[in-house]
Amino acid sequence: MSAVASGSSGLGPGLGWHLKRLAGKLGFAFAVFVIVSPAILVMLWMLSLSLKNEVDNMAFPPVVIPSPPTFANFEAVFENANLMRYLVNSLLVTGGATLVAILVGVPAGYGIAKASAHKIAICILIARITPALSYLIPLYMMFQMVGLTGSLWPIFITHLVITIPIFVYVMIGFFESLPPDLEEAALIDGCSLWQAFRHVAMPLARPGIVVAMILSIIFSWNNFVFGAVLGGRQTRTLPAAVYNMLTFEQVAWGPLAAAALLVTAPVLILTLFIQKEIVGGLTAGGVKGG
Amino acid sequence: MPTAPPAGPNYGRNYLPFAYPALLITAAVIIFPWMFTLFMSVHEWKIGSAREFVGFANYIKLATDPRFLESIGNTLYFTALAVVLPIILGTAAALIFNERFPLRGFCRAIFILPMMATPVAIALVWKMMFHPQLGVLNFILSLVGLPPTLWHTSAETVIPTLVMVEVWHWTPLVMLIVLGGLAAAPTEPYESAKIDGATWLQMFRYITLPLIMPFVVLATVIRTIDALKAFDTIFVISEGGPGTASETINIYLYLQAFSFYNIGYASAVVVVFFVLIIVLAMVLLWLRQKSKWT
């Protein structure tokens, strides 16, 4: 809503015009404030809960600003010996699934873009449409039959369904926009298709790979349902572990908020730092994991 | 020997093998299990006991299962709200972010934080904020002179409460999709409309809206699919309760499979759920085709 000059006639804009323009600007600023405040308020309240002692957290009316702030909640979370294990689980699962997605997703995006194979693209993107539980139940049974339960393998394998489609989707868009001249030159010089991809197209696509990597890390890290269904006491990922704090331990708000903050903080910080790339990658379409 | 440069109508086929590994993994993790689901759905199968072939008995039981029928209603209620509200709010936000203003990049980064945040962690925070006695939201309501609400602890308010969290999470995705459409919109129609003295509302109605409609439809399709399969937020905040008041199909099938261990029955729920999703997606795509929004 750009403040359009209504232009009073005469020697230039009058006082009324200035007031109107100011009101328009203030109204716009207010609208911006309104749409960003829910995000900020929830995050700040999470921070506030995590820095208050239990007495203040249970006070009504609520204590807004922790005084003095305490780190006892974070200490309590870290004292939970298993947290480190869950952190390692999450890192292994997210890292592994993203790595495999780079290996198979980047070539797939390239092949699909080059062959305009939209049917294959739909087959892979079907993971984006279907509810996770529709394949989790049979997978759960199959993993049990094969005896893989109790290891991280089932969670890692299912996370591929999050990471690979993200890579395929982002990379199709990226390779479609890449001019083909250089690869064609390489092909004429006697490169195989794979060599042209590996040594010409892929280095050019590095920015796209980075965007896909970030999105794939974030959505794999955030995933809850795979870890909740397939994870055991030792093999949970962080989101499932945080949920378990709610059910199996005496519910104390401070440590719970601290744990929630620790899980989601890396993602939020990553988003803030590279929002431009993320926005670019996401606007390409409705990429979202799970 | 050097081959000819890419040419010919079928040349692209040579690139297909690049996609095979990804295709294979997707098929192994998703498509193969579906066939297993069909197999399980015609069995009486409890974890820990032998399976028994029962034909369509699970499906017949489903048709008269009041809890399942209620879950369909809950899912549709939740989905309708969780699609319409983010679409309206997200489109409005896209119009705002399409303007140039100081700190736009920073504000946009803040605005998209919710869709990147870990849903489970955020759901826990909302749950604490919803607490009827100690929660901050009822305190805020009291500040503006409104009566306290029971939020997720009452059967009447639980679904709107969950929708609120869903709206918080996914309005940014709608905003990004529509913003993509606005960025690609040409400027000429606006200029001539301004010359003709069109009001802002007229320009929105007759120029902007038709231009962004395909993107709004795309966002609607994506939102519908996501709302139908919403799980994390509902599971953490209300677990389908109180009672079964917020039990969506997804939650019901989780409970059948992993709380009651009725694997065969849960598989039948999956099949019906799946058909519902496909049908709704097809209807939306058909509407899109029919309106010639391509």
Q: From first to last of the 290 residues of chain A, give the pLDDT tens digit.
A: 444 444 444 556 678 888 888 988 899 999 999 999 999 999 999 999 999 888 888 877 888 888 888 888 888 888 876 888 899 999 999 999 999 999 999 999 999 988 888 888 887 877 777 888 888 888 888 888 888 888 899 999 999 999 999 899 888 888 888 888 888 888 888 888 888 888 888 888 888 898 889 989 999 999 999 998 898 888 889 999 988 887 654 578 888 899 999 999 999 998 888 888 777 766 654 444 43
B7 touches chain A (CB under 8 A): no
pTM score, whole prediction: 0.88
Chain A residues closer than 8 Å to B270 by CB:
133-134, 137
Q: How many CB atoms lie within 10 A of CB A176?
A: 13
Using DSSP, state whether B52 is helix, strand or coil.
Answer: strand
List the single residue in A with minimal CA-CA distance to B164.
Answer: A38
Residue A82, CB half-sphere, CA atoms under 13 Å: how many?
13
**Contact of A138 with B34, CB cutoff 8 Å:** yes
- Choose the mutation target among A94, A157, A275, A278 for the interface with B, i.e. most B CBs under 10 Å: A275
- Per-residue pLDDT for B210 more than 80? yes
Residue B53: which H helix or E strand, with range?
strand B52-53
Chain B residues closer than 8 Å to A285 by CB:
177, 218
Give me B126's structure tokens.
């909302």
B154: left (phi over 0), alpha (psi -120 to 50) or beta: beta
- Would you state the pLDDT for residue A3? 43
Average pLDDT over residues B142-170: 91
Average pLDDT over residues B138-147: 88
**How far is A120 from A64, CA to CA, in rounded Å?**
52
List the single residue in B with minimal CA-CA distance to A25.
Answer: B101
Q: How many CB atoms lie within 10 A of CB B98?
A: 18
Chain A residues closer than 8 Å to B95 by CB:
1
Q: Are A264 and B117 inside 8 Å of each other by CB?
A: yes
Q: Are A197 and B194 inside 8 Å of each other by CB?
A: no
Q: Are A130 and B274 inside 8 Å of each other by CB?
A: yes
Q: How many CB atoms lie within 10 A of CB B139?
A: 15
- Would you state the pLDDT for residue A289? 43
Quote the distance between the C-alpha of residue B268 and its chain's center. 22
A218 touches chain B (CB under 8 A): yes
A103 touches chain B (CB under 8 A): yes
Interface of A with B in 140-169 (CB under 8 A): 140-142, 157-158, 160-161, 164-165, 167-168
| Cβ pairs A/B, distance under 8 A | 296
> Worst-scoring range by mean pLDDT, B101-115, B262-276, B280-294?
B280-294
Chain A residues closer than 8 Å to B207 by CB:
none
Q: Are A279 and B112 inside 8 Å of each other by CB?
A: yes
The closest alpha carbon to B58, from B254, B256, B278, B280, belongs to B256
Provide the β-strand partners of residue B46: B262
Shortest CA gap B113–chain A (Å):
6
Given pLDDT bands bounded at 50, 70 and 90, which one contains residue B292?
low
Given pLDDT bands bounded at 50, 70 and 90, which one contains residue B291?
low
Q: Are B109 and A115 inside 8 Å of each other by CB?
A: no
Chain B residues closer than 8 Å to A134 by CB:
34, 37, 270, 273-274
- Would you state the pLDDT for residue B88? 96
Q: Are B121 and A124 inside 8 Å of each other by CB?
A: no
**How far is B210 from B264, CA to CA, in rounded Å?**
47
The closest alpha carbon to B65, from B206, B247, B292, belongs to B247
Q: Are A271 and B273 inside 8 Å of each other by CB?
A: no
The closest alpha carbon to B45, from B277, B245, B270, belongs to B270
Interface of A with B in 74-93 (CB under 8 A): none
B98 touches chain A (CB under 8 A): no
- Choose the mutation target among B43, B120, B187, B253 for the interface with A, i.e. most A CBs under 10 Å: B120
Q: How many CB atoms lie within 10 A of CB B38?
A: 13
Strands in chain A per DSSP E: none
- Per-residue pLDDT for B12 more than 90? no
Which of A105, A157, A260 lies nearest to residue B125, judging by beta carbons? Answer: A260
> Worst-scoring range by mean pLDDT, A124-128, B19-23, B25-29, B231-235?
A124-128
**Contact of B208 with B185, CB cutoff 8 Å:** yes
- Would you state the pLDDT for residue A2? 43
Q: Are A261 and B121 inside 8 Å of each other by CB?
A: yes
**How far is A187 from A189, CA to CA, in rounded Å?**
5
Q: Are A260 and B122 inside 8 Å of each other by CB?
A: yes
- Phi, psi values for residue A18, rounded to 5°: -60, -45
- Would you state the pLDDT for residue B274? 85
Q: How many CB atoms lie within 10 A of CB B21?
A: 17
Given pLDDT bands bounded at 50, 70 and 90, which one contains residue B229?
confident
Q: Are B2 and A103 inside 8 Å of each other by CB?
A: no
**How far is B83 from B42, CA to CA, in rounded Å?**
34
Chain A residues closer than 8 Å to B108 by CB:
275, 279
More confident residue, A27 or B11: A27
Average pLDDT over residues B191-220: 87
> Worst-scoring range by mean pLDDT, A179-183, B4-8, B238-242, B271-275?
B4-8
**How far is A275 from A214, CA to CA, in rounded Å?**
11
Shortest CA gap B160–chain A (Å):
17
- Would you state the pLDDT for residue B73? 94
Using DSSP, state whether B43 is helix, strand or coil.
Answer: strand
Which of B6, B29, B113 lies nearest to residue A187, judging by beta carbons? Answer: B6
B121 touches chain A (CB under 8 A): yes
A104 touches chain B (CB under 8 A): yes
3-state secondary structure B233-266: HHHHHCCCCCCCCCCCHHHHHHHHHHCCCEHHHH
Residues 6+ apart with CB under 8 A from B161: B130, B149, B151, B152, B237, B238
Given pLDDT bands bounded at 50, 70 and 90, which one contains residue B94?
very high
3-state helix, strand, coil split of chain A in percent (to 5) is 75, 0, 25
Q: How far is CA A269 from CA A38, A65, B110, B162, in A?
A: 18, 22, 11, 26
